[in-house]
Amino acid sequence: MAEGEHPGAIPLEGGEALGPQAAELIRAWINEEGRANVWVAAFRLEDPKVFGYFLSDIARHGARAYATTYGLTEDEALQQIVDGLGEQLREQFSTITTIQDGSLD
């Protein structure tokens, strides 16, 4: 494990090498209570609509990961992810607490 890395971190081995221009946009963790801890570096991506495209790419990667891990088709996994997103956005099952306000640095 790299210095300063959390024991629950996903190893970055085996994927494409991150080039020198790569930048982390979000960091998301699930805590012991099943709640999300999320940091967003909004200053790295000015347009919120493009952030939505980014989240869509994450959902598609997640669908593939769930499909290959749990024997679902990608379409089944993606539909379940979209259903969960829609329900949470509509119903707001949980409240969010701001960890830190956004800034341009």
Nearest to 74 by CA among 56, 94, 59, 54: 59
Residue 14 lies in a domain: no
Contact by Cβ (8 Å): 90, 99: no
| Range(s) of the domain holding residue 66 | 42-100
Q: Give 11-41 pLDDT, tens digit per residue.
A: 877 777 788 898 999 999 998 988 888 999 9
Give the mean pLDDT of 49-57: 96
For residue 89, the domain's CATH number is 3.30.2370
In this structure, is residue 33 part of a structural domain? no
Task: Check: pTM over 0.85? Answer yes or no.
Answer: no
> Is residue 30 included in any domain, yes or no?
no
Q: Quick check: is 16 in a domain?
A: no
Q: Does 52 fall in a domain?
A: yes
The domain total for the chain is: 1
Q: What is the DSSP letter of 11?
A: P
Residue 8 in any domain: the answer is no
